[in-house]
Amino acid sequence: MYERLDAIEQRYRELEEKLSARETAKDTSQFQALAKEMAGLQEIVETYRTLKKTKLEHEEVKRLSAEASDRDMIKLYEEEAAVLAGKQSAFEQKLENLLLMESDQGMTDKAVLVEIRAGTGGEEAALFAADLFRMYTRYANRLGLDVDIMSSNPTELGGFKEVIFEVSGCAAFGKFRFESGVHRVQRVPNTEASGRIHTSAVTVAVLPEADEVEVNIDPKDIRIDVFRSGGPGGQSVNTTDSAVRVTHLPTGMMVSCQDEKSQHKNKAKALKILRTRLFDYYRTKQQAERASSRREQVKTGDRSEKIRTYNFPDRRVTDHRIKLTVHNLEEVLEGELAVIVEALENADRKERLSKKEPAA
């Protein structure tokens, strides 16, 4: 932990120097970015400096106690040393918490791309994908976040084979990052005449959005194809070749966008999705390399894991990761996810603090 704190303090000093430089003051965007980074580190640095001061005082009192011969003075020094030891422990605990938050801060504030895909269950899965899209849209609206559909593949009955949308605003990734995984629904489909309960599944992927600085796509590494967009049942959406397919040659990733009537807009959205997927790809790869000595990855990021079940007959929603069950399914599907998200945040925070991840 102390090695990480020393590095943060050094970075804080560098930021102080850069912000005081005349060249930085002339560049408004750079000045704002550096000031924002410095503000994010300020509480950690101030607490760390207070901790170091407290440690020095503690060592000094212990030295005076060892050199003292008067019993009353020794007792006073010992009492003061105990108080300082308590303060030191409290500052260390606070710094662990601050480091944990700091390690997430850069990701938490990012916009996200949420990708919902129908899995097992055919049309019923596609309809539930539409239910989840509606749930997340309403949840985002409750938080004051903006939602923009990037790409969609609707079905004739009003479901989605796939829908990709952007959520932007304060702490967007932080509020959606626990939604990645398999969402299972148990209910009687509208098409089921016998009233038999079906189980279907939908996969959700939540990807922190990358900007051009974080992921620079070389034009030589992509192939762009245009084609005429189509809708459910093969109908033509428009009569021009406005749909765009972007292929990233090094990885084989392919993104298609056809929702916009403008080829330029579809291309921009496709590149944004591709950039975000590449950012997630390289980030996940790096995390896997760092965690190669561990037996398993952080479960909240595993998109193949069944994370939640929505049981309509019992009106219950169960999050399997934290064994939480709530009996307000209708409200949850209306976007009231706060109770579940807060429970996941608390469980994740408790687990990571117990493992002392910031010290790694």
Percent of the chain at pLDDT > 90 equals 44
Of the candidates 2, 4, 13, 7, the one whose C-alpha atom is nearest the C-alpha of residue 38 is 13
Angle between helices 2-20 and 28-67 (to 10 degrees): 130
Last residue of a domain, one of 107, 123, 146: 107
CA distances to 9, 223, 226, 248, 254 from 251, in Å: 38, 12, 20, 6, 9
Residue 17 lies in a domain: yes
Domain span holding position 271: 219-288
Unique residue bearing structure tokens 């069950």:
325
Residues 249 and 200 in one domain: no
Residues 124 and 207 in one domain: yes
Residues 38 and 177 in one domain: no
Residues 71 and 208 in one domain: no
Farthest CA pair distance, the chain: 97
Last residue of a domain, one of 288, 310, 340: 288
Residue 360 lies in a domain: no
Mean pLDDT of the chain: 84
Residue 139 lies in a domain: yes
Residue 293 lies in a domain: no
Residues 280 and 226 in one domain: yes
Residue 97 lies in a domain: yes
Residues 153 and 7 in one domain: no
Could you give the 3-state DSSP secondary structure of residue 216?
coil
Dump pLDDT digits (tens) for 287-302.
565 444 333 333 433 4
Helices (H) and strands (E) in the chain, counts: 9, 11
Question: Does the reported pTM lie above 0.85?
Answer: no
**CA atoms of 76 and 57, how far apart (whole Å):** 14
**CA atoms of 121 and 161, how far apart (whole Å):** 11
CA distances to 186, 248, 271, 289 from 293, in Å: 38, 31, 35, 8
Residues 307 and 208 in one domain: yes
> Which is it for strands 306-311 and 181-187: parallel, antiparallel or unpaired?
parallel
Judged against a pLDDT cut of 50, whether residue 49 lies above it is answered with: yes
Residue 208 lies in a domain: yes
Could you give the 3-state DSSP secondary structure of residue 277?
helix
| Token pair for 96 | 């662990």
Dump pLDDT digits (tens) for 310-359.
999 999 999 999 999 999 999 999 999 999 999 998 888 777 766 554 43
Looking at the chain, which runs of residues are DSSP E strands? Answer: 112-118, 146-154, 160-168, 181-187, 198-208, 222-227, 243-248, 253-257, 306-311, 316-319, 324-326
Residues 101 and 112 in one domain: no
| CATH code where residue 267 lies | 3.30.160.20
**CA atoms of 151 and 117, how far apart (whole Å):** 12
Dump pLDDT digits (tens) for 96-130.
877 766 655 556 667 889 999 999 888 999 999 99
Residue 186 lies in a domain: yes
Of the candidates 181, 70, 188, the one whose C-alpha atom is nearest the C-alpha of residue 132 is 181
Per-residue pLDDT band for 227 (boundaries 50, 70, 90) equals confident
Residue 136: CB atoms within 10 Å:
23
Task: Say how many domains are in the chain.
Answer: 3
- C-alpha radius of gyration, the chain, whole number: 26
Are 170 and 277 contacting, i.e. CB atoms less than 8 angstroms apart? no
Q: Which residues contact 340 (CB under 8 A, 6 or more apart)?
A: 317, 319, 324, 326, 332
Residues 146 and 283 in one domain: no
Residues 125 and 155 in one domain: yes
Last residue of a domain, one of 288, 322, 339: 288
Amino acid of residue 26: K
Residues 100 and 118 in one domain: no
| CATH code where residue 321 lies | 3.30.70.1660
Average pLDDT, integer, range 21-25: 84
Residue 25: CB atoms within 10 Å:
11
Dump pLDDT digits (tens) for 136-152.
999 999 999 999 998 89
Judged against a pLDDT cut of 50, whether residue 214 lies above it is answered with: yes
Residues 123 and 252 in one domain: no
